[in-house]
């Protein structure tokens, strides 16, 4: 199911005003990935990127293109460990997680 624009705006608005929510998005994404729920974890990572950094800034921070990052976190994407950890490092800094 595709995310609607209003859902993305709602998540972004909440993330902008609530640092606990930002951290929870990232934490849940990582927990899903560790539990073997790769598709759900990547979807939540996409939400986290859209709600915090955006793909353009993430691309600058990771040295990848935004298109490549979007593909990696897409339903059929398969990011390498190096790319996944670079994404997580940038998101961790963006959400203010320790």
Q: What is the pLDDT of residues 61-80, one digit of tens each?
A: 999 999 999 999 999 999 99
Give Cα separations from 74 to 1, 39, 96 (angstroms).
13, 8, 25
Dihedral (CA of 17, 14, 43, 23) sign: positive
Residue 5 is predicted with a pLDDT of: 63
pTM, two decimal places: 0.84
Alpha helices per DSSP H over 1-98: 5-17, 19-34, 38-51, 55-62, 66-72, 81-95
Which residues in the chain land under pLDDT 50? none
């Amino acid at each position: 199911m595709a995310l609607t624009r209003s859902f993305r705006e709602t998540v972004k608005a909440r993330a902008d005003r609530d640092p606990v929510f930002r951290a929870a998005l990232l934490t849940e994404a990582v927990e899903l990935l560790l539990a073997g729920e790769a598709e759900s974890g990547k979807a939540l990572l996409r939400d986290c990127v859209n709600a915090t950094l955006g793909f353009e800034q993430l691309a600058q921070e990771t040295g990848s293109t935004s298109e490549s990052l979007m593909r990696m976190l897409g339903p059929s994407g398969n990011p390498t460990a190096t790319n996944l950890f670079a994404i997580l490092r940038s998101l961790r800094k963006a959400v203010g997680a320790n």
